[in-house]
Structure 1
């Protein structure tokens, strides 16, 4: 009997009853911790871009991709916060003089930066 394309590419079958089932496995990839940004992007891919998620997963590149997205998002988030702090003149002196005002402004900046990161990286 002629070999199938699957067998020619190195695949093998396992007999279960009267059926031959292909032995499929996902390629192993180095596990790296995925941060919150990467997890949110993964959920977005699962829900709205299933083909991209499946391709990354089956090629064994999902974890590395999500770690990279997480790193990019975290760097962008930190740069945005620093830039906004300078623009709005939020200093350590303000923190020492009026901690409540400083906290309110910092919370506002973090919320704005988070929204920008979501729009530009996570949900893009």
Structure 2
């Protein structure tokens, strides 16, 4: 399974670290953030990354999601979509991505050191 993470901020980078040992692709508007994580082949175009993965993790600020979703011109119906964005409902995620498989989760910051707890729900 190939996992794509959109957003290399605090939560995104914690999730990337947690996925160690998996095939993980990373997309962020800043290549410097991606490179700071030790990733050499990052993406700034989410559509390009999404086309190469099975699971898409949205780890961006909720207020950035609408514009981001509108910019993605790729069908995600067959992708599993995972969101760590507060305030974005499963219905909104389904409408924006077309995915039937949505996982909405709320990790905490202890995840950064491998001691976190995550509450989640799915479709």
Structure with greater helix percent = 1
What is the TM-score of this pair, normalised by structure 2? Answer: 0.24
Higher Rg: 1
